[in-house]
Structure formats: structure tokens, C-alpha cells
Amino acid sequence: MPHTNVLFTGATGYIGGTALYRYAASDIGHHFKHANVFALVRDPAVAAKVEELNATPLVGTLDDAAAVEKLVLDNEITTIVHMADVLNEAHETALLGALAKVKSDNEKHYITIASGDSYGNVSKFGRHDPVSDLEDLYAAAAAAPPYMGRALETAIHDLAAADGIKSYIVYAPLVYGKGQGIGNQMSVQIPAVIRGAYHHREANHSHPGEEGWSIVHVEDISDLFLKVLASTLPGAQYPAKSGKAGGYYFAEAGFVSWKELSDLVAANLHKRGFVDSPEGKQFPGVPEDRSAAVQRLNASPFYYSLVFAGLVNLQAGRGRSIGWAPKYDKRWLVEHFDTEVEPLLAQNFKYGARVETGDKDLDEAWPSDL
């Protein structure tokens, strides 16, 4: 059978790094015997670590579209697994454009990541019941009010189809757990809640009701990426649907409300003597004044409203059609919450960089202002 040259982006990131590690794992790697995997990395110093994971390092940055195109063409890449970032139209279009120029008899595939907020309340999708990835989401996005995430995801499928590329979008909800990659091994959202609780001796949430997010362990979302990738290779047992007719894959294994999460944080930190109450409390001042919430979470105004005050209720079905079965669920998170706290304890709960989208104009806006 012909071999497929595959490019991973985000190889040192939380999800991408874990996916690359698990690609090389002995119990998974046999699915990829017809794949040659390349990994895009910024730092030449990590190249040797990439090679240890049975991948060929390519040094470059997604910000240099011409250089990325050359790497894709020179290595005859016909499948790209893009796990580096979300909401970056320039990166998505550059990768798709490069893939379109590759001359090959192999099918071309583009697998990318998106945020579950495209189907949440802040994005005005208009649903409070669970949204299933088995629904016609291409049509649903077209019927919903304009939203940057949905617009980009629709454009990805349209651009790919125009160039004969099969496209797949994996949607990330609230991701938790310790990563396994060569770079970042920590999530963003739950650590932000924990750090804020420690520094203010109080675990907080934005709403007393049922707003919250679907959840998935980092190993499980990484495995979903690998399942989709495996489904694109010659001799695949479970061919995956692609494009607007089914190229939507929700990584979901449960749902947790922000109130439940703040209670989990409060109970865990209270037994350690770090907070005053074993129960979560509403952020001071919300909903009228959100400044304390933004400060405690070390988050941008937009990111706070989008994530920490939002509702994203997803229902995964399509991944199971290609053999994906998450190993971790909400019960596991509750029973093993120490695994979320202890890595932060080792860092003295030090705040990191502000939690934000990376778009300066967007980050300083409240969703109601957009």
C-alpha cells in the first residue's frame, strides 16, 4: 500500500504534543504503519525529542506562510493534522493553500481543531439542550447568527472542497488532565479557576445556574484526532465522514457546570487549608460588575464571557462511528481532582500568562459589544 506523508502542527502544545506522544505509543502506533509523520516545531532544540517519537521534525513557524508552503511541498505532505491554535484564519488558509498545491495521486486530508463555543450560548447559537455532532451542523451554522468561529469552520470546509481536499474539524470543549507531550502539559481553564481560588481564598463561579461546558480528558481528545487520522489512511477499518456532510467531530465525555467545578475546587483546596469555605461562591459583583472575575481568573474580558460564563453542551456521536471511545468521564474527574491541583501546588499556584484568545481587539471586548 502507498505511504501517506502526514504533517502535525502544535507538536509541543498541550493537545498536539499529547497526540504526537500517543501516535508513537506501542498500543496505538500500529494503526499508522502506512504513515510517515512530520512535526512542525519552532525550536530546533526540540528536534531530537520529536525524532524519539517516530516523527521527522520540520523547523518553522505557521506565521511564515511561504516557508510552510515550501515544507509541505518539499515533503509531499498529503494529510495535515493542525492542532496549533483556533480562530487563526491566516494559519488555516495557508495550510489549506499549501496542501492544495501538492502534486500527488494520494487523497488529501485536512484535520483541524476548533472550540466548542461555536455551539454555545455566547456565540448566539440558540440552543440550551445538547448539540449532537450527528446533526447537520453545516446547515445549522448557516441558519445561526453570524459568529467568527462558525464562519471560519464553514470556510474551512468550503475551501477544502473547492480543492478536492477532505476536511475534518475536531471540537474541543473544556479539556483537562496532564498532557504527555514534549512541551506544555497543562490545560488552561481549570487551572485558572484553581489559581484564582488559592490567591483569593475562595473558589468562584459566574452563575448559580447550570451554565457550564462539556468536558474531555486530553488523552481522549488526542485519541480522537488519531482515530480521525487513522480513518483517512489506506485500508482504514472505519472511514470517516468529511466536509459539510459530516466532517464535525465533538470530543466530549460529560458535562460540568461552573458551579459544580467551583465546588470541586473549593472542597479540594479547603482540605488543604487554602480556602475558607468548602463550597464555591459566585464571583463578587457579577453579573453587573465582572472586573473581579476577570482579575481573579487572570483572563481577558472576552475570554471570561466566552468560557467562564458560557454554556457549551455538546454530544459526541460521530467519533464513536470510527471507533473512538473515551476512557475518562465526569466521575473520573471528580474522584481524581487531586491530579488537577497538585501540578499547580508544585508551582505555588503561580499565575501564568493572561488567559486570552490572542486577538488584542477581541480580547478587550465584551461579547455584547461585538
Per-residue pLDDT of the chain in tens (370 residues, 90 and over written 9): 578 999 999 999 999 999 999 999 866 666 788 899 999 999 999 999 999 999 999 999 999 999 999 999 999 999 999 999 888 999 999 999 999 999 999 999 999 999 999 999 988 898 889 999 999 999 999 999 999 999 999 999 999 999 999 999 999 999 999 999 999 999 999 999 999 999 999 999 997 777 999 999 999 999 999 999 999 998 888 899 999 999 999 999 999 999 999 999 999 999 999 999 999 999 999 988 999 999 999 999 989 988 999 999 999 999 999 999 999 999 999 999 999 999 999 999 999 889 887 777 778 877 654 4
How far apart are alpha carbons 79 and 64 in whole angstroms?
19
CB 297 within 8 A of CB 196: yes
- Residue 28 pLDDT: 66
Locate cell 502506533: which residue? 29
pLDDT of 151-178, one tens digit each?
Answer: 999 999 999 999 999 999 999 999 999 9
- Residue 29 pLDDT: 64
Query: 205 by DSSP, 3-state: which?
Result: strand
- Residue 370 pLDDT: 42
| Domain spans of the chain, in order of start | 4-176+216-250, 189-213+256-310+330-363
How far apart are alpha carbons 193 and 250 in whole angstroms?
24
Phi, then psi, of 330 in degrees rounded to 5: -60, -40
Question: pTM for the complete prediction?
Answer: 0.96
- Residue 367 pLDDT: 66
Q: Fold for domain 4-176+216-250? A: Rossmann fold (3.40.50)
170 forms bridges with which residues in the sheet? 113, 249
**Is 129 exposed, middle or buried, given 0-12, 13-18 or 19+ CB atoms closer than 10 A?**
exposed
Amino acid at 43: D
Query: 180 by DSSP, 3-state: which?
Result: coil
pLDDT of 74-119, one tens digit each?
Answer: 999 999 999 998 889 999 999 999 999 999 999 999 999 999 999 9
Q: Which three cell numbers stand for residue 45?
A: 532544540
- Residue 225 pLDDT: 97
Sign of CA dihedral 206, 210, 214, 216: positive
Does a cis peptide bond (omega within 30 degrees of 0) precede residue 239? Answer: no
List, in sequence order, every beta strand (DSSP E) within the chain.
4-9, 35-41, 56-59, 79-82, 108-115, 131-132, 165-172, 174-176, 204-205, 212-217, 248-250, 255-257, 281-282, 314-315
Q: Give one word for 170, left, alpha or beta, with left for phi > 0 and alpha for psi -120 to 50.
A: beta
Query: 267 by DSSP, 3-state: which?
Result: helix
Locate cell 495557508: which residue? 94
> Helices 148-162 and 89-101, interaxial angle, to 10°?
10
- Strand order through the sheet with 165-172: 56-59, 35-41, 4-9, 79-82, 108-115, 165-172, 248-250
